Structure formats: structure tokens, C-alpha cells
Amino acid sequence: MKTSNIAIFVPHNGCPHMCSFCNQREITGQATQPTPQDVVDAVEIALNSISTDTQNSEIGFFGGSFTAIDRQYMISLLKAAYTYVKSGQIHGIRLSTRPDCIDTEILDILKSYGVTSIELGAQSMDDDVLIANHRGHTPQDVINSSRLIKKYGFSLGLQMMTGLYKSDDQKDYYTAKALADLQPDTMRIYPTIVMKNTQLADLYRSGKYIVPALDNAVNLCAKLLQLFHKNNIKVIRLGLHSSDSVGENRVAGPWHPAFAELCQSEIFYNDFLLYCQRHSIGTGDKTVLVNPKSLSKFIGQKKSNIKKLSKLGYNIVVKADDTILADEIKIEENISK
Ligand code: SF4
């Protein structure tokens, strides 16, 4: 059975902020506010779907500013969702919000309505980047609210964006390290995509904002992925999905339908070279053993890794071996060509 989150998008109509990358209406294709009845309808549809394991599913209020919307309206949505948590039909409630919209009063309310996970849109831990992109919060807000969320016993999720206006690889890596230090349970990494009708689109058109190339974004995000893995932090999303209405709204930016897989292939490519270096393995014919689940990731899209390694002088044969862990490889020399 499939465990799935029942996602309910709550737009922040009247949001006082002007984040450079945001045009909620364009991103979501929806501007109407859901009602408590909409919450009930969405959960009932999931409950009636025999292929969904609802007892392990969560109701997710997404949109980025859930705790900043009108308080009574927020509570009305939570009440509708909490009915299903109390009855045991749904595992819990998750939501996403801004780092400066968390305090003890809010957390007390969320706790009393069965919220289990809170995700914060941190985006960057660099002051200048946050200011340049009009985020309206500081890195310290991210630190304070993350600590408070953990102290209350909620699962903490953090989101970061790479390639924002006035950012660079160094600042993005610093952000990832600073966020890893806060020990979130989950991370989402989004390379910045320029959407229609945003300030970023104007900056891009005027030449003030240069979008990172896809290769660069993959290279950087592969490093960030490894950093979070080393810190035992689960990355639950890497790159926007096509379902985020990216296609029709994208002006520019490093978007790819399989962005996460490109990053995982990049990691395998680097791992191969590191393995050769550590084991003093030279170029020539090699057999690489990988877990069956990782076969396509090692090979890369359109055999990209095989081709890149061939240019370096490695002639690779890849074999599936279920004794190898999913994120590991073993290289054997001259077993076959
Ligand atoms: S991303 Fe920024 S501008 Fe957009 S809704 Fe959230 S806080 Fe408001």
C-alpha cells in the first residue's frame, strides 16, 4: 500500500512580503483559499482510495506561510484535519511556514491540534542574500525557530534554495552547513527557477541576475546531498517537480524533470574517481559492481557517466550485485571488457 501525504495548498493571499522568486498564483495555478470542507473532502477521497495507506499518511498544509495566515482561519483548517488524526485514520499533520512566523503561542496551538511536522523555508543563511531577495527574515530567525520547534518535539524540516540572486556556490554550501548544524529531520533543496511575473524575472531580463547552468546546479546539489547524508539528514526533495507547474511558468533556470537522479549520478561519478584514487586503480577496462537499484543512477542519463569516464580512459562494464549497498560501488579490474 502507498503512503501518501494529502497535500492541501493554502495560498498566503495578502502576503506582505515580496520574495524575489515568488509569484504564488503562477506557481500553484490556484489563488482560492481552501475551506475546512475542502480539507474534509480531500481526506475523504484519500480514505476511500484502497491503494492508499491512510493510517501512515499525513495531511500537509503547504504554501509556505501557514502560521502567518489569519489565525481563526488557520485554526478552522487545523480543526478539520485534527478530526482524522484523533480518530486514528490519519497519522499526523505537517505544514510549512516562514522562520519569522514561529513563536511559543503558535507552537502551543499547533501542538493542541495534532501537528507533527513543521517545515521552515529558510532559503539562505546569508544575510545579504536574504536581503537581496526580500525574504524579510534573518538567519537568526531560522536558528531561533528551528530550536524552538525541536524543543517542542515537532519533527523539523528545512528548505533551502540554491543559486538565488546575489548568492554563489560558497554561500549555498555555507547555508547547507549552517542548516545541517540545526539537525533537521528532513531537508528540501530547490535550485532557484525564474518564474513568470516575479522580480527575479525582471532581474534576469535586465542582465542583473545570471541563472546557474544545469551542470553547475547538479554539481553543487550533489555536494549538498552528500553533506546532508553525512550528517544523517534525510533529503526528501531535490528540485521542483513538473507538478509544481514549472513547465508553463518557467522563464529560466536549471530545471530538469529528473534533477535528483542527475545529482545521484554525479555522486556516483565522483565516487568512482575517488575509489580509483584510493585503491590506486589506473585507467583501462573495469567492471563496476553496483546495487541493482542504483544501476541506472550509476550509468547516468543517456549513459552520461559511462561516456564521461570513457573520455578519461576508463572502459566500464556495469554489473548489478545485490551484496553492494545502494550508495556504494566496487570496482574490479580486467574481469571483462
Ligand atoms: S514566498 Fe515570500 S512572497 Fe511568496 S508567499 Fe511566501 S513569504 Fe510571501
Q: Which helix (H) or strand (E) holds 320?
A: strand 314-320
Q: Are 294 and 326 spatial neighbours (Cβ–Cβ below 8 Å)?
A: yes
Kindly give the distance from the C-alpha atom of residue 294 to the centroid of ligand 1, in angstroms, as a whole number.
37
Q: Are 36 and 74 spatial neighbours (Cβ–Cβ below 8 Å)?
A: no
Kindly give the distance from the C-alpha atom of residue 15 to the centroid of ligand 1, in angstroms, as a whole number.
6
Q: What is the position in ligand 1's atom list of the atom closest to the CA of 11?
A: 5
User: pLDDT tens, position by position, for the chain (337 residues)?
Assistant: 566 789 999 988 778 898 999 986 554 445 688 999 999 999 999 888 866 677 788 999 998 799 999 999 999 999 999 999 999 999 999 999 999 999 999 999 999 999 999 999 999 999 999 999 999 999 999 999 999 999 999 999 999 999 999 999 999 999 999 999 999 999 999 999 999 999 999 999 999 999 999 999 999 999 999 999 999 999 999 999 876 667 778 999 999 999 999 999 999 999 999 999 999 999 999 999 999 999 999 999 999 999 999 999 999 999 999 999 999 999 998 654 4
Kindly give the distance from the C-alpha atom of residue 98 to the centroid of ligand 1, in angstroms, as a whole number.
8
For the chain, domains (ranges, CATH) are 6-257 (3.20.20.70), 268-333 (3.40.1260.20)
Could you tell me how many residues make up the chain? 337
**Closest residue CA from atom 7 of ligand 1:** 17
Kindly give the distance from the C-alpha atom of residue 24 to the centroid of ligand 1, in angstroms, as a whole number.
7
The DSSP bridge pattern shows strands 186-191 and 234-238 to be parallel
Kindly give the distance from the C-alpha atom of residue 302 to the centroid of ligand 1, in angstroms, as a whole number.
37
**Ligand 1 pocket, CB under 6 A:** 12, 15, 17-19, 22, 24, 64-65, 98
Q: Are 135 and 122 spatial neighbours (Cβ–Cβ below 8 Å)?
A: no
Residue 281 in grid coordinates: 586503480
Pocket test for ligand 1, best of 10, 21, 22 (most atoms within 8 A of CB): 22
Torsions phi, psi for 318 (to 5 deg) = -105, 130
| DSSP three-state, residue 58 | strand
Q: Are 124 and 174 spatial neighbours (Cβ–Cβ below 8 Å)?
A: no
Q: Which residues contact 235 (CB under 8 A, 6 or more apart)?
A: 186, 187, 188, 189, 225, 228, 229
Pocket test for ligand 1, best of 65, 161, 240 (most atoms within 8 A of CB): 65
Kindly give the distance from the C-alpha atom of residue 20 to the centroid of ligand 1, in angstroms, as a whole number.
9
Torsions phi, psi for 288 (to 5 deg) = -110, 125
Q: How far apart are CA 198 and CA 252, in angstroms?
A: 12
**Closest residue CA from atom 4 of ligand 1:** 22
The single-letter code of the amino acid at 217 is A
Q: Are 120 and 64 spatial neighbours (Cβ–Cβ below 8 Å)?
A: no
